[in-house]
Amino acid sequence: MIRFEKVTKAYPGHPHPALDNISVDVEKGEFVFLVGSSGSGKSTFLRLVLREYRPTSGRVYVAGKEINRLASWKVPRLRRDIGTVFQDFRLLPNKTVTENVAFALQVIGKSRKEIKDLVPETLELVGLSGKGDRMPDELSGGEQQRVAVARAFVNRPMILIADEPTGNLDPTTSVGIMKLLDRINRTGTTVVMATHDSGIVDQMRKRVIELENGHVVRDQAQGVYGHQT
């Protein structure tokens, strides 16, 4: 589903590349934690998957497409196969929960009927039935992140990218979000999650890819956050 082949990404003006000759293969339906300290290359990894950047060298394949060669006008179609969740939720404050989720479908031209079917179904999946008319500021942090997950998943993407989705949440709420991501993963969606939350990584026991200074220093099935001795 995601394949990095000897990928290097260097930013102009930076002496060291953000990613340095890494090769990673993520299968369809996998749940992968991307761990590492700040500046280790996690965000660059996710941005390459989203084709916000092209690699400096090497090849990146996402959902069967080689993104190096993907024309700019084809990028929106690629992104419809990828859902994205961020630490800061990124909800539209002037839209209700339902409108926030529907927005993701509206802007890719889905019909009103599809939107009417998919949005309540997704809100139910994330546990927000009955809260569709609330505004984001009337919700708790955990609920806001559930709206963000609903918006990312409403189009049933093949891949879900989560960048520190529990970074702003307390441990109990974080567990709820992780259960939700796990449930989404069980529907066959590939989940790649960048995190600093060692408790969650240790608890979930999923594949862990650790990055350090742009290199993959660990790729472990059913791994934990820190190095196992």
Binding site for other proteins (CB under 8 A): 50, 72-73, 75-80, 82, 84, 90, 92, 103-104, 106-109, 112, 151, 155
Q: Could you tell me the smallest distance in angstroms from the CB atom of residue 86 to other proteins?
A: 9
Q: Could you tell me the smallest distance in angstroms from the CB atom of residue 193 to other proteins?
A: 16
Query: Measured from the CB atom, is 114 or 219 closer to other proteins?
Result: 114
The two beta strands, 31-35 and 207-212, are parallel
Alpha-carbon distance of 50 to 153, in angstroms, equals 15
Query: Measured from the CB atom, is 50 or 224 closer to other proteins?
Result: 50
Alpha-carbon distance of 91 to 148, in angstroms, equals 7
Report phi then psi at 88, rounded to 5: -95, 20
Query: Measured from the CB atom, is 104 or 191 closer to other proteins?
Result: 104
Q: Locate the DSSP E strands across the chain.
A: 2-9, 19-26, 31-35, 57-62, 65-66, 82-86, 159-163, 190-194, 207-212, 215-220
Query: Measured from the CB atom, is 9 or 110 closer to other proteins?
Result: 110
Alpha-carbon distance of 56 to 85, in angstroms, equals 26
Q: DSSP assignment, residue 100?
A: H
Q: Could you tell me the smallest distance in angstroms from the CB atom of residue 122 to other proteins?
A: 13
Q: Could you tell me the smallest distance in angstroms from the CB atom of residue 199 to other proteins?
A: 28
Tokens of 227: 């190095």
Using alpha carbons, list the distances in angstroms from residue 28 to 1, 31, 85, 103, 185. Answer: 5, 9, 19, 27, 10
Q: Could you tell me the smallest distance in angstroms from the CB atom of residue 116 to other proteins?
A: 13
